[in-house]
Chain A
Amino acid sequence: MTPWRLIARNLCGFARTGMAVALALATATAVITGSLLVGDSVRGSLRDTALARLGAISTATVGSHAFREALAGSDAPLLQTRGALTAENDATVPRVQVYGVEGRFWALFGTANPVNGRQAAVNAALARDLGVAVGDDVILHVPRAGAGPADSLFAQRSRQAALRTVRLTVAAILPDRGVGGFALTASSQTPRNVFIDLHWLQGQLDDAGLANVIVSHGTELAEAVRTHATLDDLGLTLKTNPAARTLTVQSTDLLLRRPMVKAIADAADRAGVRAAPTSFYLAAELTGAAHGTSYALLGAPPPGVEAHGDGVWLSTWSAEDLAAKPGDVLTLSYLVPAWDGVYRTETRPLTVRGVVPTVPDTACVPPLRGISTAERIDEWAPPFPVDMHRVTPRDETYWQRYRTTPKAFVSLETARALWARGPEGAQADWVTGVRVSVPAGDFAAQARRFTTALSAVLPPEAAGVPTLPVRTQALAASEGATDFAGLFLALGFFLIAAAVGLAAMTMRLLIDRRAAEVGLLLAVGIAPRTVTGILLAEGAALAALGAVIGVPLGALYGWGVVHALTTWWAGAVADTPLWFHATPGSLWIGAVSGFVIGLPAAWWGTRALKKARVTDLLGGAQALAMLPAPPRGAWALGGSAVLAVGCFAAGAAHALSPLEAFFCGGAALLVAGLLGCGQLLARALTPGVPTFPRLALRNAAANRGRSVLVIGLLACASFLLITVAASVRDFSRFDVSDPRSGAGGFTLLATASLPILYDFGTPTGREKLGFAPEDEPLFAGVQVYPFLESPGDEVSCLNLAKSAAPRLLGVPDALRARGGFTINTAKPTAQPWALLTENDAFPAFGDADSVEWSLHAELGGRVPLAGAPAPLHIVGVLPGSLFANALLVSDTNFRTLYPGISAPRYFLISAPREKADAVAASLRRTLGDLGLEVHPTREVLADYARVENTYLACFLALGGLGLLLGTLGLVVVLLRNALERRREFALLLAVGFTRAQLVRLLLLENIGLLVAGQLLGAVAALAAVAPQLGTAHVAWGGVAVMLGGNLALGIAATAFTAWPATRGRLLDGLRGD
């Protein structure tokens, strides 16, 4: 006989109980393994989806502006924009990604080009949303590229000028997985895509020969773009004037931003030429003492005129018109556009500093849509109001002769003082060009040298044409923002704990049954260490068996959870498509984890025997000493009780956050209750006259540790279930009008797919946007707060993918002044919104959950932002807010980070509750074709809460499963223990007990533990969630069913199994021979 043989024999001899231990550990292993596989599945599905969306694409050049289609070379050029699509059934889908593509794009997916001309291919998700099929017509609304910032004087803002609406015929519906789901950004959600023939779309958008995206299957794209990009491709135009020996660099987007101006200046330095920023603007009127001229362009002084400081230089033409001479004071009137569509007129006196010859020079004014190409002034179609009655024949003559040649000139300082807007953003400097002067030498050679230098100092990525490793980024994003393995381990924690506890108790039972055997081994001289080793080895063997059984069960569990996440719990993953994945690593980790957590259970089982005397062990488990242990933990009980009372008092007095204080108080109460149960059981050993309850209590007290464990397990389960259930948020009863709420007092949230170029919060803006006059009364008392919105990844829990570039919202000054929302800041402040404007790199606010779970940051932490000079600094978090999908920065900082974005697409609307629906309907009716979506803030919050609530539902389900498992397991253990007490039952029968009385005794004992556990947990939980009970949407019915059902099941199982425990030939146990 060897120890190993003995172990093997023992395992065979106690196979049934051993199998119970193994199955309990298998359950824990299964939950661990399954949770890891859920993580595998989410990552794997995101990866599969991301790769399927990219086809063979590895890299992509994504321009912030259009460039030549030819820059793509042999790669695939795309024209990408965002639009809205309307079906003939009037269903409109906003936020549609519109791609103009051609054969090379389809080849990257191994697909034939399904579209031609006016045909469109839509993905299945879009077709489903629109309710269209192949052959149906749809209306596409897309923005037309404008010159300059959308809120500048020269931006076309009318719907007709800013939008293009075309009719398309659906030629194909593409599967979402694959080319249909094509996306270059990291989002787990299925995009809504429409694919159109590139050249046809170029024609519709007046973008012939242009693209703004190149996709490639290779890795040489960046180098190719760097090599072949022209200044045009970088968003710059170069006008040469050999006669004046000048070059003028302008932006295709009207204004040159500071980095561009600096780059041009650097290039000029390298080339040994001089560079000077220039500017132009339109004067509504320039008036002298007697005469005036209207709609005159003002520009930078021509070369050779040193213009500094205040004042104006007139061309000879203007001086003649105005009859002005140096020293005269003129009055400049100019239009300042406002967001609401009103053009405010400002005036400023300017002293004539000089008169310069009138020389045709249109170089300093870039092409202005609606103006530059007009043959006559009265043919202008500008976005701003023009009073043609003020245009004189002489003005027309000038236009025909000199076109956009400025009539007057101001210094750059004056230009900025007059026209620059805002400390940051595209209009901050109002630089419309850089004039490079070549004073001497070969002009052509110098120009080439300058161009070469400019290309060197201005790589494509600095000019808004970066080439991105999209496949690598997609793979990184597919790692997911949330560790689902960890999440489901946490959600299943109670299930694991219940299983391990059950295993430990079963192991203890197994060893108790073998007390006499252990005593015998010790009695025959085997060292205690060896005996313990044998028992631990048996435990280890059972843990290994549990791990082996648990791994396939874990795969089943993981598959089940993934299935649930795509069906019942789809809300938790925002309907992200998922498939089951399993990696060997997770299977191994799950198996090893299950084995490792089984060892303490085995150790705990053997622990009790170490304290027993050999003689007692020889008498078997029933003979083990049963002494009245003194009650322990009185201090802990008192401390927990005091802590509980203190927390409740602090919460009630609002000295601490009531939610947190009461939860801590409830938890302390739970601990105090458990310690109290231990005390009660210890005191139950005080002698007294036996009664059935006393005897049941005695039996429970006889194994105090086991009984407290049972009560504790059930109490914790009840506590968790009720507190979790009370955390379910129901925004149908949420008071969004409370400015401190997550809705900030706003009733509606609107987002637009296309820029809304007028403020629909003002009568003028509404008029410009085409609202019906009869809707005007609806807007009385309505306030609109427009936010600039950056591209980037949604950071809410609705996006499972890891965010590389979080979406930002620029908080308007008006909102900062208004305040609202609850903002937790690192340092207490009465003006939390002011933190966004502190002299910090980029202070930002974020939704508390998004910051923690999606960005894995914290208050005071830093969040990197691709392309930004510094990371965002989280200076405040908003719990449960509307802003879950983006981070908030000040409008100024937003314009610094995204100077090219000037039209808001995100709007918070404060409307009287009774009019909110009508206002929303009016907005949808009027701006629906711009892809404006209007949602009650309550619904938006509910959408975010749906994710959280679904997780809570997962937790409740898994916790309920754990409770069920724990209860059933406990019943099995308790009754298995009862079977071990057959001699005791035999004696009771012998002294006159009936079998019914034995069953009653067992029921009293076991049900007492079940009820005590659930009652304690419920009371503590109700105390913990007391502050929430008024507002939380607690499914009391469901909780009651879960707890009551579990209790009923426990009682039924106890009763069902108590009967056989008291049947059979119990009296054989009384035989003396």
Chain B
Amino acid sequence: MPKDTSTLTLTGVSKTYPGAEIPVLRGVELRAGAGETVAVVGPSGAGKSTLLHLIGALDTPSAGSIRLGDIDVTALTGAALAVYRATRVGFVFQDHHLLPQLSARENVLLPTLAAPGGDPARADALLTRVGVAHRADAFPAQLSGGERQRVAIARALINGAGLLLCDEPTGNLDRDTGTGIIDLFLDLAAEGVTVIMVTHNLTHAARFTRCLELRDGAPVPLEVMA
């Protein structure tokens, strides 16, 4: 179970990169509670990944606010920002971004370097939870694509984050493996993890509780998928 069950709230979030005339995001509104799953869909360049980066405090919005519980994410700086990234959110990327020189367990434990206090035993538990405990000492080069992604998910959760931000996590996987990953997300959501996932796969999106479609940086009316 995640330590954090705060609600994510985005209000009028816009993003324009310096020097660019057209905003990447315009007036995005979103509210996601604990255990909710939100699929973000849209064509390439619609601002999906940017939205995730803003939520994950990897970038700052030009306008609007992002709050996770009582935390004003847009106001975070310095150490607080790092702590937020390390403890409140977990990222899963299309490319797993595992460090090749670290084993699976070590990759999972990597965020504990940024936020000391991580429990190695929890890494094994998470690896068990995502189904790759038997590969804990393997290196990324020795893992399959699905295994790598599962290790990446475990890494995202090592510090007890309640918000999982996934950027096309199945984009590089075959259908069955991708489906398995989505199953895992849904299981995690059932345990209270909020999952926000960027995807082009409408089948996967359809399995999420809500879907946010972006076009030219602006959200189109929300449609309840399930």
Stretch at the interface among B1-9, B109-117, B183-191, B202-210: B109-117
Within the complex, the shortest CB–CB distance from B89 to chain A, in Å, comes to: 9
| A692 nearest CB neighbor, chain B only | B113
| Contact across chains for A626 and B137 when beta carbons are under 8 A apart | no
Q: Which of A54-62, A787-795, A990-998 contacts B (4 or more CB under 8 A)?
A: A990-998
Inside 8 A of A624's CB, which chain B residues have their CB?
100
Please tell me which one of the listed residues A626, A993, A1067 contacts residue B113 in the complex, with CB atoms under 8 A apart: A993
A177 contacts partner chain B, Cβ-Cβ < 8 Å: no
Is A1070 a contact partner of B97 (Cβ separation < 8 A)? yes
Q: Which residue of the partner chain B has the closest CB to A625?
A: B141
Against B, the Cβ 8 Å flags (1 = close, 0 = not) of A580-595 are 0000000000000000
How many angstroms between the C-alpha atoms of A626 and B53 in the bound complex? 29
Interface size counted on chain B using CB atoms at 8 A: 50
Q: How far is the CB of B65 from chain A (nearest CB, A)?
A: 20
CB of A988 within 8 A of CB of B114, answer yes
CB-based contact A993/B94 at 8 Å:
no
Decide if B49 is an interface residue (CB 8 Å cutoff).
yes
Instruction: State the CA gap A627–B90 with chains docked (Å).
Output: 27
Q: Which of B45-101 contact A (CB under 8 A)?
A: 45, 48-49, 53, 56, 58-59, 78-79, 82-87, 90-91, 93-95, 97, 99-101
Listed stretches A357-365, A514-522, A682-690; interface member? A682-690
A contact residues around B140 at 8 Å (CB): 626
Most chain A CB neighbours (cut-off 10 Å) among B49, B109, B136, B141: B141
Beta-carbon contacts under 8 Å, A768-816 to B:
none
Q: B101, A993: Cβ atoms under 8 Å? A: no
Closest to B81 in A: A994
For B106, give its contact among A688, A989, A1067, A1070 (CB under 8 Å): A688
Whether the pair A992, B168 counts as a contact (CB closer than 8 A) is: no
| Neighbour of A992 across the interface among B101, B115, B137, B167, CB < 8 A | B115
For residue A628, CB closer than 8 A to chain B, the reply is: yes
Q: Are B56 and A990 in contact (CB under 8 A)?
A: yes
CA distance A115 to B109 in the complex (A): 95
Q: Does A108 contact B (CB under 8 A)?
A: no
Contact residues in A for B113 (Cβ distance below 8 Å): 690-692, 695, 993, 997
Q: Are A991 and B111 in contact (CB under 8 A)?
A: yes
B58 touches A1067 (CB 8 A): yes
Pair B93/A992 contact, Cβ less than 8 Å: no
Chain A residues with CB below 8 A from B85, complex form: 989-992
Q: Please, which residues of chain A bring their CB within 8 A of the CB of B94? A: 1072-1073
Q: Does B128 make an interface contact (CB < 8 A)? A: no
Complex Cα distance, B48 from A483, in Å, reads 71
Most buried by A among B106, B113, B142, B156: B113
Interface string of A627-651 (1 = CB under 8 A from B): 1100000000000000000000000
- Cβ distance B134 to chain A, nearest Cβ, rounded Å: 14
B173 interface residue, CB < 8 Å from A? no
**Interface membership of A984, Cβ < 8 A:** yes
A496 interface hit (Cβ, 8 Å): no
A1072 is contacted by which of B86, B90, B139, B168 (Cβ under 8 Å)? Answer: B168
The closest CB in chain B to the CB of A694 belongs to B106
Interface residues of A in 950-1001 (CB under 8 A from B): 983-984, 986-994, 997
Minimal beta-carbon separation of B205 from chain A (angstroms)? 15
Any B CB within 8 A of the CB of A698: yes
| B171 and A1067 contact, CB distance less than 8 A | no
In whole angstroms, how far apart are the Cα atoms of A984 and B97 in the complex? 7
Docked CA distance A1072–B48 (Å)? 10
Q: Of all chain B residues, which has the CB nearest A987?
A: B97
A626–B98 CA distance with the chains assembled, in angstroms: 11
* Interface core residue of A626, A695, A698, A992 (most chain B CB under 10 Å): A992
With a cutoff of 8 Å between Cβ atoms, the chain A residues found around residue B115 in the complex are: 992
Q: How many Å from the CB of B68 to the closest CB on chain A?
A: 14
B-side residues, CB < 8 A to A, are: 44-45, 48-49, 53, 56, 58-59, 78-79, 82-87, 90-91, 93-95, 97, 99-103, 105-106, 109-115, 120, 136-137, 139-142, 155-156, 159, 167-168, 171, 198
Known: A698-B106, A997-B82, A1072-B94. 11 other contacts (CB 8 A): A687-B105, A689-B112, A690-B112, A691-B113, A695-B102, A695-B113, A991-B85, A991-B90, A991-B156, A993-B82, A1067-B53
